[in-house]
Structure formats: structure tokens, C-alpha cells
Structure 1
Amino acid sequence: MKALIDHPVADWVYRRANERLTGRALACAVNARNHLVRAQRIADAEISRTIAYFCVTHATEEAVACVIAAAKENGYKSLAGRVNIRDRAQKAVVASYAQIIADHAEELGLSVALNPATDDVLVKARSDEKEVGYPLGLRLFSFNEDGQNPSSDAAHDAFVSRFPDVETMVDYVQKRASFRDNALYARDGGAPDLSPEQLNIGLREHTLLTLSLIWAAMDVTTHKEPEPFVVQILGAISAVIDVVRPPKVCKHCGK
């Protein structure tokens, strides 16, 4: 984990976050970074694997709040406003989508690197046996073959298709939303105890998610008009949330 949070790209994310983000988005980014540092220190000192895990998962939740706040402030208010960042299940849906994108990028062999000359981050990919670098931006991604198509159907299917049925999907989101409690509190079966291997996996996963979400929040601030990929993602997140957290219906009027 230390190698990740001290990486030049991570340092770039921290610096640019302070420059680009404002208000709640900036506060959440700072909170997220602080919890990453706490998680590392607690893990390195072997004080408590459970508390280290709590800190790193809380960092991810703060990063989710960061990207949603930034989206609301930068042209995506109608879509981002559908996400209640006080609801852990809804934040779990956002984090799950970030995980899907990260997994896909890893499958494609994409990597990121800092270009010191321009003080910007490049995404590197293989093309015709050559490594090609592009300025990293959300505009590079799309769930649709037509990158300008804002439809969220494919993005929605990318998440839903991971599960055999809707009930399993809802159960997954609920478990992800409560995993911190499960890691912290004793149950009838006894007290939780993460193994060193489980902690290392969790630290790496949540550190990458946290940094990616903060970066996405920064990227959103540069959009002069809504990017199709962001519209795809936010639309799909909203659709999944409607299933996980169906709108309440008044028992009197039915609305």
C-alpha cells in the first residue's frame, strides 16, 4: 500500500485535487487521503488489522462522496443528485462501478504514468505492438461502441450481468455496504479477524479505488459540457440504485 500512496501519480492526484476541487468535493478528497495515510500507518505498525481496514474502506466512501459532489457542481447535477451520499448502499453501487472500470482497464493492460515535463498523467496502451500514451481523461472511456452515445443501457448491463438474478445483485450491494461493520463488530460466531493476506488485498483494492475516484472528480471539473461516458455511468448507477433502494410509495395515495 505504501508504494501506492507514495507513488508519483498518487502525489499528482493529491496536488491537483487541492488545485481543482472546491467545497465539499475538496473536503471529501482531503478526508479520503488522510484515511489512506492512517490505514497505512496502522497496518505498518501492526496495531490492528481491523482498524486499518476500517480506515481504508472509509477512504473509499469519502472518495465516492468526492466524485458525486464534484459532478453535482460541474454540469451533472440532475444525474449525480440522484445518489444519496449518506446511504452506504448507494455509495457501494458507485464504488462497484469504479471497480468494474478498474478491472476492465487491467484486463486491457492499461497503465498510467506521470509525465514530468508536462506535469500530467498519461494512460499507456499497446497498439500494433507499440506502446502509445494518451492524456488521461474520462472522455477516453465508453461502455458504448459509439463513444458519443450517452445511453446508459450497456453500462447498466455491465453491472447487472455479473449476477445470476436481481436478488443476488441486491444482496451483493447490501453486503458491500455493510462490510465495514462485518469487519469491525463481533457476531454470534465470534469476533472478526482479518488475515494479513486479506488486509493486504483490501488495502490495495481500496487505495486504487480511492485514488481513481478522486482523479475522476478532478477530471469532471474540466468538462465544458457533459461527457457521454459520465452520463452513461451516472444513468446506470441511478438505475441500479432504483432496484437496490426502490423509491418509497405513500401507503395512502400510492405515489
Structure 2
Amino acid sequence: MAILNRFFEAEAANWVVDKIDVLEGRAKFCAYNALRYLKWANETYAVSSLVSNFNGLHATEEAVACFISSGVRFGSNANASKIKLREHKTKALVSIFAQRCLRSIDGHRVKFGVSPNHDNLIFDLPIVEGGWRGEFHLSQLRLMDEGAEACSDWQKLGEGPDLDDIFEEISKASKARNALLYADDDGVPTGFTDPEEALIRDTKLTFGLIWAAVDLHMDPARDSDFLNRFLAQIVDLQKEGKARKKLGSDG
């Protein structure tokens, strides 16, 4: 049995795949390409975990691009018009928040399914006494900046990371990719310490980011508050990066 079959066969994942056609343009193509890389990752794991992990990384990168493209499409023009789609810092910021969300969901053992009318995903939080179940939307996640309302712990994504954290994330992603591709003074690439764990993480991130893009397309107004807070952080990040670059060149 291929390592990712349980994800491809899950009801929630199938719902996400079925809804990709609500996406448009680059977002749709990135989503389909992300799934293609995941399938390649699944097919190659038994032969070469290194090749499989490489495909998993690319799947996540395409899913990040899918979400950013969707955000630019539906965000307020004041912020969306300033977003650079291929900016590495932008992709790193999306990746950081996506990983925070994944850690929280895994830590709280949140489970996902499909609503009876198949219109939405639903979440199930079994660790709450009596259980807690409801529709799941991007609008329920919170960037805990000033003015963000309090909510349950598993939905908090925390404050925006500073530029040093962003550059560290970019460096980590680059090192991970290089470790899967290139030989060095110590020998040929051997891959991740735990390739299965890395691939499963990338799979969850990929499906999660595509879901976020789908949810945004299905009801942009509902998700607008979260989206515009997020885009504003990206714009601030781009400004800070430009200022630091100028300061460095002046020095």
C-alpha cells in the first residue's frame, strides 16, 4: 500500500479535490500541479524516499502559490495590488502560518469531514468535553494582531513573524531542497532523517493550502477579514525587507 493512500482516500481530501474547479487561473493550475506532485511522491516513495520527498516539497510550494494567487484575487486592492506573487518572503510567510495551523490541528487532534449537504468541510474537536463540531472556514482562523478577537486555542495562528524569522524559513526551505538534490563534501544526498514524517507533513500542508484557496473562492466576503489582515502583513513585510536592503546598500 502506497504511503499516502489514506490521505487521497479521505473524505475531506476528496472534497477538496472535487472543489478545485471553483478556482480560477493560476490558482487552479497550481492546485492541480500540487496534486500531481503529491501523486508522484506517493508512487516513488517505495523506490526512493529522496525523490518522493523532493516531489512533496514541490507540491507544497505549488499549494502556497495557489493560496497566494487566490488571496491577491480577492483581497482589498489597497494591499492585493502590492503583493509580489513570486516573492520568496511572501511564500515563506504563508508557509510559516500554514505550519503553525497544522501543528495546532495535530496537537488538538482536530478531525475533518464533509457536511451532510457537501457544501463545506466540518471539524470535530474530540478533546473538548462533549465534543465540538461545526463548519470549518478560513474566517475562523485568527492572526493575533491588535484587534483580533479571542477564539479557541487551536484556531490561533499567532502574531506575524519578524523578517529574521522569514529569512530563516527561506533558508530552511532552500537547505531542505539542496539536501535532496546536491552532493557535498560529505557525500551524495541521503534525504531527510525521517522521510515519511516529512512527506506526511507536506501532504497535510498541500491539502490544507488548497482547501484555504477553495474556501476563499466559495465565499470571499466571509473570509475577507482574515485575508486582508494577512495581506497587510505581507505588504508590511515587503516594505521592511526593502528598507533593510536599502540600509545595507547605504552602509
Report the TM-score range of the alignment, normalised by the length of the smaller protein: 0.7 to 0.9
Aligned residue for 1:188? 185
Deviation for aligned residue 1:140: 1.4
Task: Encode CA deviations 1:94-126: one digit per residue, 9 max, x unaligned.
Answer: 112110122123333322112344353101225
In structure 2, the gaps of 5 or more residues are 151-155
Q: Give the letter for the 1:29 counterpart.
A: A
What is the CA–CA distance in structure 1 between the aligned matches of 2:205 and 2:142, rounded to whole Å?
19
Aligned residues of 1:32 and 1:60 also touching (Cα < 8 A): yes
Residue pairs, 1:147-162, within 5 angstroms: 147=148, 157=159, 159-160=161-162
- 1:143–1:229 CA contact under 8 A, matched in 2: yes
What is the deviation of 1:23? Answer: 0.8
Aligned partner of 1:163 in structure 2 is none
2:29 matched residue in structure 1: 27
Matching residue of 1:14: 17
Letter in 2 for 1:219: D
2:199: which partner in 1?
203
Aligned to 2:153: none
Partner of residue 60, structure 1: 60
- Output one character per residue of 1:107-153: Cα deviation in whole Å (capped at 9) or x when no partner: 3332211234435310122586112221110111213485469xxxx
User: Counterparts in 2 of 1:41-190, with a 5 A limit?
Assistant: 41-44=43-46, 46=47, 48-126=48-126, 129-144=129-144, 147=148, 157=159, 159-160=161-162, 167=164, 170-190=167-187
C-alpha distance 96-168 of structure 1, shift in aligned 2 (>3 A): closer
Instruction: State the TM-score, normalized to the length of structure 2.
Output: 0.81
TM-score normalised by length of structure 1? 0.80
What is the distance in 1 between the residues matched to 2:248 and 2:170?
A: 26
Q: What runs of 5+ residues in structure 1 fail to find an aligned partner?
A: 161-165
| Contact 1:29–1:63 under 8 Å retained in 2 | yes
Superposition deviation, residue 189 in structure 1: 2.1
Question: Does residue 228 of structure 2 align to residue 231 of structure 1?
Answer: yes
- Letter in structure 2 aligned against 1:42: T
Query: How many pairs does the alignment contain?
Result: 240
Contact 1:142 1:229 in 2 (8 A): yes
The 1-side partners of 2:134 and 2:113 are apart by 10
- Distance in 1 of aligned mates of 2:123 and 2:89: 31
Matching residue's letter, 1:134: G
Match of 1:159, SS?
coil
Residue 202 and residue 245 in structure 1: after superposition, are their counterparts in 2 closer, same or farther (change >3 A)?
farther
Matched position secondary structure for 2:59: helix
Contact 1:138 1:216 in 2 (8 A): yes
- Distance (Å, rounded) in 2 between the aligned partners of 1:194 and 1:168: 24
Identity of aligned residues (%): 25
Is 2:7 aligned against 1:4? Answer: yes
Write the letter of the residue equivalent to 1:223.
P
Distance 1:108 1:238, change over 3 A: farther
More displaced, 220-229 or 30-39?
220-229
Query: 2:81, 2:171 → 1: CA distance?
Result: 21
CA distance in 1, matches of 2:244, 2:209: 27
Deviation of 1:175 (Å): 2.2
Aligned CA RMSD, in angstroms, stands at 3.1
Aligned partners of 1:236 and 1:250: how far apart in 2? 21
1:210 aligned partner, one-letter code: T
